[in-house]
Amino acid sequence: MSVTARPATRSTAPLGRLLRSELRTALCRRRTLVALGVLALVPVLIGAGVAAQGSAGTGRVSGLITAASGNGLLLPVAALAATLDLLLPLAVSLAAADILAGEAACGALRGRLLAPVSRPRLVAVKACAVCVVAVLAVLVVALVGLATGAAVLGGAGQLLTLSGSVVGTGDALARIALAVGWTALQVAAVGAVALAVSSVTDHPLVVVASVLGGAIGFGVLDTIPSLGWLHPWLLTTAWTALPDVLRDPMPTDGLLRGALLAAGYLVVGLVAAVAGLVRREG
Amino acid sequence: MTGRDSVTLCPRATDGPPGSGGPEGGGRARAAVPAARLRGLRKEFRGTVALDSVDLDVPAGSVLGLLGPNGSGKTTLLRLLLGLSRPTSGRVELLGQPMPDGAATALPHVGALVEGTGFLPSLSGRDNLTRCAAAEPLLASPAAPAVDAALHRVGLAGGPDEPAARRYRAYSPGMRQRLGLAAALLVPRRLVVLDEPTTALDPVGAREVRGLIHELRAAGTTVLLSSHLLAEVEEVCTHVAVLMSGAVVAAGELETLLNADSPTLVVRTTEPGPALAALRAAGVSGSYPERGSVVVDLTDTAADLVLRVLVQAGVPVSEARRRRTGLEDLFVQLAEAAG
Give the pLDDT of residue B7. 31
Q: How far is CA A205 from the centre of its chain?
A: 18
Instruction: Please say whether the beta carbons of B69 and B244 come within 8 A.
Output: yes
A57 pLDDT band, cuts 50/70/90, is low
Give the pLDDT of residue B2. 37
Could you give the CA distance from residue A241 to residue A214 in angstroms, rounded to a whole number?
19
* High-pLDDT (> 90) share of chain A, %: 71
Three-class SS of A198-226: HCCCCCHHHHHHHHHHHHHHHHHHHCCHH
Looking at beta carbons, which residues of chain A come within 8 Å of B131? 21, 24-25, 108
Nearest chain A alpha carbon to B30 = A7
Compute the nearest-CA separation of A125 from chain B (Å): 11
Compute the nearest-CA separation of A282 from chain B (Å): 5
Compute the nearest-CA separation of A19 from chain B (Å): 9
Would the CB atoms of A114 and B107 count as touching at under 8 Å? yes
Looking at beta carbons, which residues of chain A come within 8 Å of B141? 14, 17
**Distances B127 to A11, A215, B114, B169, B183 between C-alpha atoms, Å:** 24, 36, 20, 13, 12
For residue A62, which of A251, A243, A245 has the smallest C-alpha distance? A243
The 10 Å Cβ neighbour count of residue B19 is: 7
Cis peptide before B197 (omega within 30 of 0): no
- Strands of the sheet containing B89-94, edge to edge, are B48-58, B36-45, B89-94, B97-98
Would the CB atoms of B112 and A17 count as touching at under 8 Å? no
Q: Helices marked H in chain B — which ranges?
A: 22-30, 74-81, 103-106, 125-134, 144-153, 173-184, 203-218, 230-236, 254-258, 272-281, 303-312, 327-338
**How many CA atoms does the CB half-sphere of A97 hold within 13 Å?**
18
Would the CB atoms of A115 and B135 count as touching at under 8 Å? yes
Structure-derived torsion over alpha carbons of residues B204, B206, B210, B215, reported in degrees to the nearest 10: 60
pLDDT above 50: residue A238: yes
Could you give the CA distance from residue B248 to residue B253 in angstroms, rounded to a whole number?
14
Nearest chain A alpha carbon to B96 = A8
Give the pLDDT of residue A130. 96
pLDDT above 90: residue A183: yes
Nearest chain B alpha carbon to A108 = B118
Would the CB atoms of B104 and A116 count as touching at under 8 Å? yes
Phi, psi of B278 (to 5 degrees): -65, -40
Give the pLDDT of residue A134. 96
A180 pLDDT band, cuts 50/70/90, is very high
A244 pLDDT band, cuts 50/70/90, is very high
pTM of the model: 0.82
B263-294 confidence digits (pLDDT tens): 788 888 888 888 888 888 888 877 888 888 88
**Distances B203 to A93, B116, B232, B252 between C-alpha atoms, Å:** 44, 19, 11, 28
Mean pLDDT of A235-248: 92
**How many CA atoms does the CB half-sphere of A275 hold within 13 Å?**
10
Q: Is B299 exposed, middle or buried (0-12, 13-18, 19+ CB in 10 A)?
A: exposed
Would the CB atoms of B134 and A21 count as touching at under 8 Å? yes
Give the pLDDT of residue A1. 40
Strand, helix or coil at A10?
A: coil
**Distances A50 to A57, A64, A74, A94 between C-alpha atoms, Å:** 11, 11, 12, 30
In chain B, count of helices (H) and strands (E)?
12, 14
Would the CB atoms of B137 and A5 count as touching at under 8 Å? no
Low-confidence ranges of chain B (pLDDT < 70): 1-32, 260-262, 324-325, 338-339
Would the CB atoms of B190 and A7 count as touching at under 8 Å? yes
Compute the nearest-CA separation of A106 from chain B (Å): 6
Compute the nearest-CA separation of A210 from chain B (Å): 24
Nearest chain A alpha carbon to B101 = A118
Q: What is the ipTM of this complex?
A: 0.83
Give the pLDDT of residue A196. 97
A56 pLDDT band, cuts 50/70/90, is low
Looking at beta carbons, which residues of chain A come within 8 Å of B108? 11, 115-116
For residue A182, which of A174, A171, A193, A172 has the smallest C-alpha distance? A174
Mean pLDDT of A63-82: 87
